[in-house]
Amino acid sequence: MPNYNAVGILLAAGESSRMGRPKALLPWRGTTLIEYQMNSLLQGGCDTVIVVTGKYDIEMALLLKDRPRIIRVYNPKFLEGKTTSIKAGVSELPDSTHTIVFLAVDQPRPAWVIEKMLRKHSDFGADITSPGFDGHGGHPLIFDAKLQTELAAITEKGEGVRAIFKIPDIDHHRIEFDSAIVRLDINTPEAYEKALVSYTELAKSKL
């Protein structure tokens, strides 16, 4: 696999209020959701994964320790919104980072999706690469590391990372997928139960 000098930023600081329990710790594919996501990012081509924690930092800490390619970053401002977690992760990026992969812990993605996104991002040389399905955008989002200054300046009131998409001369490339896998979010117990049933089909490799 090519070396993309890519770092994954896995957002796992939320309260999981709609789920009623920590989404990151939900059983998933023989492990927990957070471990599945970390493994997908690493297997998909990320050299390192920065996991941004918040409310459930203590509960996640045991799963994150003693992992040489995992960096745990606690976001004390997690109640102020997702942008604070993005900025907390960006602030810890290694100097050698060339590419940043943003993914939320409640958006399970198989490694092939990460690999395809990184490969296409590299091939096209875009500033931002995002996936799409059936006319709608999805995740993960991939940013060139040269946009760190812009990422550090995002705000909740200013549309978060979406504001960067609107900067003049930003080269945004969208990759269309044949699977709704890039749209999957798990926010509620009902969505979780449905995803447990549908994921095997959704996650089939279509490289």
171-199: pLDDT as tens digits:
999 999 999 999 999 999 999 999 999 99
State the Cα angle at 163 between 159 and 165, rounded to 5°.
135
Answer whether residue 1 is part of any domain: no
Q: Are 71 and 29 in contact (CB under 8 A)?
A: no
- Total number of domains constituting the chain: 1
* Average pLDDT over the chain, rounded to an integer: 96
Domain hosting 23: range is 6-202
State the Cα angle at 139 between 97 and 112, rounded to 5°.
75
Answer whether residue 132 is part of any domain: yes
Answer whether residue 141 is part of any domain: yes
CA 103 to chain centre: 1
Answer whether residue 105 is part of any domain: yes
Q: How large is the average pLDDT for residues 116-134?
A: 97
Identify the burial level of 187 via C-beta atoms within 10 angstroms of its C-beta, where 0-12 means exposed, 13-18 middle and 19 or more buried.
middle
Answer whether residue 15 is part of any domain: yes
Q: Which residue type, as a one-letter code, is found at position 18? A: R
CATH of the domain at 35: 3.90.550.10
Answer whether residue 207 is part of any domain: no
Answer whether residue 114 is part of any domain: yes
Answer whether residue 83 is part of any domain: yes
